[in-house]
Amino acid sequence: MTINKKKPNPIDIHVGSRIRLRRNMLGMSQEKLGEMLGITFQQIQKYEKGTNRVGASRLQAISSFLNVPVAYFFEDAPGQDTPAGGFAEDEGAAYVSDFLSSSEGVQLTRSFLKIKDQKVRRRIIDLVKTLATEEDETA
């Protein structure tokens, strides 16, 4: 197996995107994470794009600061064996990850998690389902 030095490795890109996802979910800036790690925000950008590979000790520190296990960064990574017989939701995992990586997804998730009343949360879910159904019907 040859390694192409020009193009980032898909695993490095995936790990970087998971770092970005978790950092955004916490509302943490690249500057803040870099400061916590003793590196520049530009280095965080390179990690998140996958252009620079994150070393094991650095990934351990990142997982600690972002309050997730190291395994979190490898969930749904490319090249992983999928379970035999798979589920339909497995195909949607990338869709969910893409949504949560978007600014709208982050804003919606953060705001939704601030709502403590379970009944209100349920009503919001019902509202979104209704709006999505109405949009399908008009399309």
**With 70 as the cut, is the pLDDT of residue 89 above it?**
no
CB 72 within 8 A of CB 89: no
Provide the pLDDT for residue 15.
Answer: 94
Angle between helical axes of 30-37 and 41-49 (0-180°, round to 10)? 110
**39 is written with which tokens?**
């590196």
- DSSP assignment letter at 102: S
**With 90 as the cut, is the pLDDT of residue 37 above it?**
yes
- DSSP assignment letter at 1: -
**For residues 34-48, average pLDDT:** 96
In the chain, where the domains are located: 7-79+97-101, 111-139
Phi, psi dihedral angles at 68 (to 5 degrees)? -140, 155
Q: Out of 12-16, 35-39, 91-95, give the one with best mean pLDDT.
A: 35-39
Q: Give the predicted TM-score (pTM) of the model.
A: 0.65
Q: What is the CATH number of domain 7-79+97-101?
A: 1.10.260.40
pLDDT band per the 50, 70, 90 thresholds, residue 26:
confident
Provide the pLDDT for residue 134.
Answer: 82
Q: Out of 7-11, 40-44, 79-83, 95-99, give the one with best mean pLDDT.
A: 40-44
> Which tens digits make up the pLDDT trace of 101-134?
677 888 888 888 888 998 998 999 899 889 988 8
CA-wise closest residue to 75 among 11, 139, 3, 2: 11
User: Cα–Cα distance between 101 and 103 in angstroms, integer?
Assistant: 7
